[in-house]
Amino acid sequence: MPDPEATIFARILDGEIPCHRVYEDDHVLAFLDVGPISRGHTLLIPKERVASLHEMSPDAGAALGRVLPRLAGAIVKATGADAYNVLLNNGARAGQEVMHVHVHVIPAYEEAGLRHGWKSGTLDADDAATLIASIDQHL
């Protein structure tokens, strides 16, 4: 996996590349996406340099969690969007392009926004029990 220290987001955090800053505190930075899906598309990143959500420290995760609702609300009010998507891709197979944790807040409008759909499967009860037990062991 690419080094989170060598990403474009690390360069933004280091002040080497400018950004359209929306919010910043000691733990996170939010800025407008330069390739927005819709008007107001914003990225929220931790200042902790890790590639995936599960690699984040509890403090960095808590900082994202504290800021995200307020940021989403401000984006909705500022843009007039009546809906939005929150998206976090982890790993290239999941669509992550910059290997530094980042949350997309993407306002949805009639004419623009993230449109997605997926085909739902069926949860097997036996597999569910096995999966729950395995997840529980790793928590």
Provide the annotated active-site residues.
102
| Cα 89 off chain centre by | 7
The CA–CA distances, whole Å, from 34 to 49, 59, 126, 129 equal 20, 28, 45, 43
Strand partners for 83: 108
How many Cα atoms occupy the beta-carbon half-sphere of 121 within 13 Å?
A: 5
